[in-house]
Amino acid sequence: MADVILEVKNLTKHFKTKRGLLHAVDGVSFTLERGKTLGLVGESGCGKSTTGRTILRLIEPTAGETIFEGTDVNKLNASQLRHARKDMQLIFQDPYSSLDPRKTVSQIIAEPLQANKIFKTKEEIEARVEELMATVGLAPRLFNTYPHELDGGRRQRIGIARALAMDPKFIICDEPVSALDVSIQAQILNLLKELQEERGLSYIFITHDLSVVNHFSDDIAVMYLGKIVEKAPSEELFANPVHPYTQALLSAIPVPEIGEKRERIIIKGEITSPINPPDECRFYKRCNYACDKCKSLPELQEIKPGHFVACHRIGEI
Amino acid sequence: MTKKNTTINVENKEQYKKRSMWAEVWRNYKKNPSAMIGLVIVVALVLIAVFARIYFDFDTDIVQQDVQNKFAHPNGEHWFGTDHYGRDVFTRVLYGASYSLIVGIISVSISCLLGSTLGVVAAYYGGIVENIIMRICDVFVGIPSILLGVAIMSAFGQSIAVLMWAIGLVYVPMFARIARAAVLPVRDQEYIEAARVIGVKDGAIMVKHILPNALSPIIVQTTMGVANAILTASNLSFLGLGIPVPAPEWGAMLSESRNYIRDHGYLTIFPGLAIMITVLAFNLMGDGLRDALDPKLKK
Amino acid sequence: MSEKDLVLDLKNLNVKFVTEDATVYAINGLNMELERGKAIGLVGETGAGKTTTALSLLRLVQSPPGVVECDKMEINGKDVLTMGIKDLESMRGKDISMIFQDPMTALNPVFTVGEQIAESVFLHENCTKEEANQRAIEMLELVGIPGERAGEYPHQFSGGMKQRVVIAIALACHPQLLIADEPTTALDVTIQAQVLDMMKNLREQYQTSLIMITHDLGIVAEICDEVAVMYAGTVVEKGTLEDVFNHTKHPYTEGLFNSLPNINDRKAKLTPIKGLMPDPSNLPEGCAFHPRCPYATEACKQPQHLRQISDTHYVVCDRYNEPDFHIEREEK
């Protein structure tokens, strides 16, 4: 039996809007094993970030359970939740807006320690901040600098140090490298990977960049309009994508190699509205293989051990 | 539009200068001559107010009548002349600075504290809380401020404390609106969410993260508000509802001397000038602060 | 050597921004040539000076603080440097056109998309309003938007659709040279695939020369013939796709490739370039890349020279003065 740190069951978030009910996250279920990484992939508006925030209850879920180490996070009261969040952290996409511009680097990293009253004296806090800065590769002389004086990569390191301050077991990385240049992106990815190996961290890695997620994750879940359409171990997913959307998504990645031009599947149109979606396969209107069967919602089925697909036409296409 | 690399590469800069936000603001502020004039006048006014209080005695220098000497035109002994009771206008104008400044500053502090708190709370929680607070503010904005001031003054009696509360309350809705508008964009920043993830409580988030980042427009409004408050205090005094006579409040002095305006115009000119210069100085300062605090104006 | 038909000939471009605090050296001695009908990819990271280069070509660098100096800048055979404002205006949009990165802000929200396309046509071509409107509808259909949507406003279009409109405006007067500044960065992958596909087809159809500014080597591999890799305001390596991708010469280009996750080998470790982009107001002596370069020697602190490797392949790296110097990537 695998050591499961997080189990999400039927997580749902609907927002009320003037035009109807927006299905941001629509019955998402998955499990995450300790020390592993689950990649959550999809295009803008597919609900991947909302899923991450709903797990941490930064957004209150409409329905569903989030079982973290045996307790349902959705049933905790405010102070229990604050306690639970010591173990569950978030790294943000934008290293600019996620750091308070009026605070120095050390103040930012010290804040979780102060808020949770971990240490009694100022010296202990400072020592811990210095230790954290060393862990993420920030030079000690940056202690009193302000974020706006630093580049994106360093800022992202501050965000990581802040997330690590409470020694969490599980971190949601919400597009942690998409705002960074390639050479810096590689530095941060390597850092996250090393931290995982040293500390046995479990990650949910949210991204739209498929080549990054392939490199980083053990399992990948592909989301489309609030639903997981396909979920499999990374190698399996890249080798045998089954869902038509996954296939199109994978073929759309520009590969920095010449010569081997792969067949590109261009899907028609753009993402449809998540407001009051009809009870048909969410991909129905754009799918090249759509047929009458697809006018009902497909369920995730296991087609191989660990490989789940939600499509009515498995095996036919 | 050129995208310039504005991040400082600390690695290459041995001589790394730490510059806090306020040092930066001061650097920008200094470059603006009219703002500096405003600041100099305000500092001068404060000094005048303090020394007038120390140097002059209220009973003998300010209110004691000398009827024989009344309506002396400005001369070597009485620089600004004397009024209908023979009191020296120059001393009274100097002494009056302290009333205007105290009323202006304290009443604006009241409205700033109350108004910003309401605005921050409204913007942070949103929804029904925001609706209740902001709709009540809207109602009060709908009443002309002088009318509201008059109403409060006549209900609670005439004293300097009531005057300050009256003016303070009159400007609360304005501060609430400005604070709310300033907080709204800050509220959606990711560092607010980040603070929540790491376990910071709501109250602490508002004080430690939201307020400092929404402070600029509030500071500007406070400075400008002092000018407004001084003007309102003078207006109320002019209507006979402000600081009770014989205190040398500038508005009250104007009011008293308006009967003699035909023959003794200087009686209205000097207190009027004093009000004008003070209001102008605070407005110049507010304008300068707004420019200095606005990062968009930096190149 | 036979006379090449150059649509762009740029020699020794220098752009600096002079402010009170510091002088930012954005472009330092940049040379670029582009043959008619070819597409060149301008690759580099934030702050490498890609966008500044493009704006210089359109003479759109704000001055002050910008100072643009150049030995030669010819577009379509016309000398851009000495042009008067009238000629410049007629050149922009007609000879050279630009697509900006953010389609959300590139369109004016108070005019219909049809009007915005027609405006460009009406300004440059001798035609009536009706003809311009007709052309606008044709252009929309060309970029895959139904002509009847010409009467709609930008907010009625999605991001991908807006970028198509922006492309339609840029191509409306059939420019000789099109500069695309990260045209798909703001778009989703599947939409990016649609737009790139469309751009490729249009380019074949109209033989437009293209400068593709991007940080994504994958996009370059997809639609360009040549690549110029920029670092700290200068081109460090230039050549055909084959030259740069398969016979990489410059250590920075190698670093870029090694930083990318390999989609076919997910276990391969990423090798990032150490350190950070240099501060453009305080560039390192000699080769600007030397503090980050794994192959750097003392000699790299001296000014570097352009070296021709083959007919098409150029690199700026003096380590090649040593006869047996090579970088790791080249070995495989």
Contact check, Cβ <8 Å, C271/A255: no
Q: Supply the pLDDT for residue B11.
A: 39
Does residue A95 sit within a domain? no
The subunits that touch chain C, with at least 3 C-beta pairs less than 8 Å apart, are A, B
Contact check, Cβ <8 Å, B198/A149: no
Q: Supply the pLDDT for residue B293.
A: 78
Instruction: Say whether both A10 and A48 belong to one domain.
Output: yes
Question: pLDDT per residue over A15-66, tens digit each?
Answer: 888 888 888 898 899 999 999 999 999 888 888 889 999 999 988 999 999 9
Does residue B299 sit within a domain? no
Which domain CATH number covers A291? 3.40.50.300
Does residue A218 sit within a domain? yes
Does residue B119 sit within a domain? yes
How many Å lie between the alpha carbon of A193 and the closest alpha carbon of chain C? 10
From A165, A186, A214, give the residue that closes a domain: A165
How many Å lie between the alpha carbon of C61 and the closest alpha carbon of chain B? 7
Identify the band that residue A193 occupies on the pLDDT scale cut at 50, 70 and 90: very high
The subunits that touch chain B, with at least 3 C-beta pairs less than 8 Å apart, are A, C
Question: pLDDT per residue over B176-232, tens digit each?
Answer: 999 999 998 888 888 998 898 888 888 888 888 888 888 888 888 888 888 888 888
- Residues of B with Cβ-Cβ distance to C47 under 8 angstroms: 3, 5
Does residue A9 sit within a domain? yes
Phi-psi map region of A304: left, alpha, beta (phi>0 left; psi -120 to 50 alpha)? beta
Does residue B159 sit within a domain? yes
Report the mean per-residue pLDDT for chain B: 83
Q: How many cross-chain Cβ pairs, B to C, lie less than 8 Å apart?
A: 40
Where does chain A have alpha helices with state H? 48-55, 78-84, 105-115, 122-135, 152-164, 182-199, 210-216, 234-239, 244-251
Q: Supply the pLDDT for residue B2.
A: 37
Does residue A197 sit within a domain? yes
CB < 8 Å from C in window 1-60 of B: 2-5, 7-9, 11-13
How many Å lie between the alpha carbon of C137 and the closest alpha carbon of chain B? 30
Instruction: Say whether both A176 and A161 belong to one domain.
Output: no
How many Å lie between the alpha carbon of C112 and the closest alpha carbon of chain A? 21
Contact check, Cβ <8 Å, B199/A90: no
Q: Supply the pLDDT for residue B43.
A: 94
Scan for tokens 């209150």, then name that residue: A60
Choose, out of C50, C230, C279, C292, the residue to mutate when testing the contact with B (most B CBs < 10 Å).
C279
Choose, out of A76, A111, A141, the residue to mutate when testing the contact with B (most B CBs < 10 Å).
A111
Does residue B27 sit within a domain? no
Which residue of chain C is at minimal alpha-carbon distance from B6? C279
Contact check, Cβ <8 Å, A43/C196: no
Higher pLDDT, A89 or B199: A89
B197 → closest Cβ in A89, A97, A145 = A89
Question: pLDDT per residue over C54-74, tens digit each?
Answer: 888 888 888 778 888 888 888
How many Å lie between the alpha carbon of C19 and the closest alpha carbon of chain B? 8
**The two structure tokens encoding residue A120:** 């009694």
Contact check, Cβ <8 Å, B12/C279: yes
Number of C-beta neighbours around residue C144 at 10 A: 17
Contact check, Cβ <8 Å, C189/A216: no
Does residue B64 sit within a domain? no
Choose, out of B10, B12, B31, the residue to mutate when testing the contact with C (most C CBs < 10 Å).
B12
Mean pLDDT across A288-295: 84
C19 → closest Cβ in B8, B12, B299 = B299
How many Å lie between the alpha carbon of B191 and the closest alpha carbon of chain A? 4
Choose, out of B20, B187, B190, B192, the residue to mutate when testing the contact with A (most A CBs < 10 Å).
B190
Does residue B44 sit within a domain? yes
What are B135-143's contacts with CB under 8 Å, separation 24+?
Answer: B136/B173, B137/B172, B137/B173, B137/B176, B137/B177, B138/B173, B140/B172, B140/B173, B141/B173, B141/B174, B141/B177
Count of structural domains within chain A? 2
Cβ atoms A292, A306 nearer than 8 A:
no
How many Å lie between the alpha carbon of B281 and the closest alpha carbon of chain A? 29
- Among residues C174, C144, C149, the alpha carbon closest in space to that of C160 is found at C144
**B296 part of contact set with chain C, CB < 8 Å:** no
Cis previous bond, C64, omega within 30:
yes
Cβ atoms C80, A216 nearer than 8 A:
no
Residue B252's domain comprises 32-57+81-293
Does residue A284 sit within a domain? yes
The pairing of strands A88-91 and A170-174 is: parallel
Complex ipTM = 0.80
Q: Supply the pLDDT for residue B295.
A: 56
Does residue A92 sit within a domain? no
Positions of chain B with pLDDT under 50: 1-18, 297-299
Q: Supply the pLDDT for residue B12.
A: 36
Report the mean per-residue pLDDT for chain A: 88
Number of C-beta neighbours around residue A309 at 10 A: 23
Mean pLDDT across A279-292: 85
Number of C-beta neighbours around residue B49 at 10 A: 18
Instruction: List per-block mean pLDDT (blocks of 10 residues) for chain C, which spans 332 residues.
Output: 73 85 84 88 86 86 82 84 82 84 82 88 83 88 83 83 86 86 82 84 86 89 90 90 88 88 75 82 85 86 86 87 78 50
Contact check, Cβ <8 Å, A89/B198: yes
- Residues of A with Cβ-Cβ distance to C246 under 8 angstroms: 258
Instruction: Say whether both A75 and A182 belong to one domain.
Output: yes
Instruction: Say whether both A132 and A256 belong to one domain.
Output: no
Which residue of chain C is at minimal alpha-carbon distance from B4? C47
- Residues of B with Cβ-Cβ distance to A142 under 8 angstroms: 10
Mean pLDDT across A231-251: 90
Phi-psi map region of A64: left, alpha, beta (phi>0 left; psi -120 to 50 alpha)? left
Q: Supply the pLDDT for residue B16.
A: 39
pTM for the model: 0.80
Q: Supply the pLDDT for residue B247.
A: 83
Contact check, Cβ <8 Å, A141/B16: yes
Instruction: Say whether both A183 and A302 belong to one domain.
Output: yes
Count of structural domains within chain B? 1
- Residues of C with Cβ-Cβ distance to A190 under 8 angstroms: 269-270, 272
Which amino acid belongs to residue B231?
L
Instruction: Say whether both A175 and A156 belong to one domain.
Output: no
From A165, A183, A205, give the residue that closes a domain: A165
Q: Name A289's Cβ contacts closer than 8 Å, sequence gap at least 6.
A: A244, A313, A316, A317
Instruction: Say whether both A253 and A186 belong to one domain.
Output: yes
Cβ atoms C118, C129 nearer than 8 A:
yes
Instruction: Say whether both A244 and A140 belong to one domain.
Output: no
Does residue B109 sit within a domain? yes
Q: Supply the pLDDT for residue A260.
A: 61
What is the DSSP annotation of B117-146? HHHHHHHHH-HHHHHHHHHHHHHHHHS-HH
Residue A136's domain comprises 103-165
Q: Supply the pLDDT for residue B41.
A: 94
The dihedral built from the CA positions of residue A160, A163, A168 and A174, taken in this order, carries a sign that is: negative
Does residue A69 sit within a domain? yes
Contact check, Cβ <8 Å, C62/B8: no
Which domain CATH number covers B142? 1.10.3720.10
- Residues of C with Cβ-Cβ distance to A271 under 8 angstroms: 188
Instruction: Say whether both A134 and A262 belong to one domain.
Output: no
Which residue of chain B is at minimal alpha-carbon distance from C18? B299
Does residue A226 sit within a domain? yes
Residues of chain A with pLDDT > 90, as a percent, come to 38
How many Å lie between the alpha carbon of A96 and the closest alpha carbon of chain C? 15
Instruction: Say whether both A130 and A239 belong to one domain.
Output: no
Q: Name B110's Cβ contacts closer than 8 Å, sequence gap at least 6.
A: B164, B165, B168, B169, B172
Contact check, Cβ <8 Å, B197/A141: no
Instruction: Say whether both A291 and A216 belong to one domain.
Output: yes
- Residues of B with Cβ-Cβ distance to C50 under 8 angstroms: none
Number of C-beta neighbours around residue B56 at 10 A: 17
Q: Supply the pLDDT for residue B6.
A: 37
Which residue of chain B is at minimal alpha-carbon distance from A159? B194
Q: Supply the pLDDT for residue A183.
A: 82
Q: Supply the pLDDT for residue A6.
A: 93
**The two structure tokens encoding residue B108:** 């604006």
